[in-house]
Amino acid sequence: MSLHFHYYPFPALAYGCSYYASYTTKRTLSTHRRIPPHSSTFSVITNLFSRNPNFLTRNTLFLRMQRFCSVSGVSKNKAMVERLQRYGVITSSKVAEVMETVDRALFVPDGAAPYDDSPMAIGYNATISAPHMHAMCLQLLEENLQPGMHALDVGSGTGYLTASFALMVGPLGRAVGVEHIPELVSSSIENIQKSAAATQLKDGSLSVHAGDGRQGWPEFAPYDAIHVGAAAPEIPQPLIDQLKPGGRMVIPVGNIFQDLKVVDKNSDGCISIRTETSVRYVPLTSRENQLRGY
């Protein structure tokens, strides 16, 4: 075995972005097959920050690597997915297929670079996560996004991941997005209507609702898969309650320092929680707090 550095696209840590902390040293096989990250990546981040006061600016090696590694200027969604596959971010053929089918350009603001591996502001102090974060969450939830299953997307934003969930669970399943900014709900529905998930929006197996995502969406519970697109100080109990036995939730937890948590509910209802990696998301908060100062 040998040691390799893996530099993945890393956006500036501005308010409302997420990042995948996988630029730490990874131990890989000689075939360069990537080993999934683990919670020790967090200590590497904090060490880097303490050593380099410019870590949160664009004056770092990692941010220069982002410009090198990003798919800026590539106009095709498929090329973005293939790039993420080459870097070992996407390892699932099903996730690759879904991300090729759901064109990211339909879910980002006009004038944005849709295929850059970077989070983007979508208004209302909210963001759409970078493609590598979407890929990670889809892969973590893949076994719970099988045809006929129910999926909940909390903080659904522009609707990208909700549409992806819908394609994975199919018309016999149910994909539900919850977003507490009504304007984002309206625009996300318009985005989905232009996408490959439009038929499921029409037949009702996909729906987006205005509401407080911290309370989940009980109407279609229990859910096999729950994704939360904003960081909670602690895991909301209503989301745990709405998770089906055998189900899985992926949720960023923390304030300044955040971890992506994988929450599994066993068949007997017992909960197990593990940390996947360190992340940076906008806070999961009330509508009023989110819009403060906007």
Q: Locate 231 and state its tokens.
A: 């960081």
DSSP string computed for 113-180:
-TTSSS-EEEETTEEEPPHHHHHHHHHHHGGGS-TT-EEEEES-TTSHHHHHHHHHH-TTSEEEEEES
Amino acid at 165: F
Catalytic residue chosen out of the listed positions 129, 156, 207, 278:
129
Told to judge if 187 belongs to the known catalytic residues of this protein, a careful annotator would answer: no
DSSP string computed for 64-88:
HHHHHHS-TT---HHHHHHHHHHTT
Q: Give the number of other CB atoms < 10 A from CB of residue 83.
A: 20
Amino acid at 143: E
CA dihedral of 108, 111, 82, 96, whole degrees rounded to 10: 10
Nearest alpha carbon to residue 8 among 22, 19, 18, 29? 22
Nearest alpha carbon to residue 169 among 202, 199, 145, 198? 145
Q: Among all residues, which ones are annotated catalytic?
A: 129
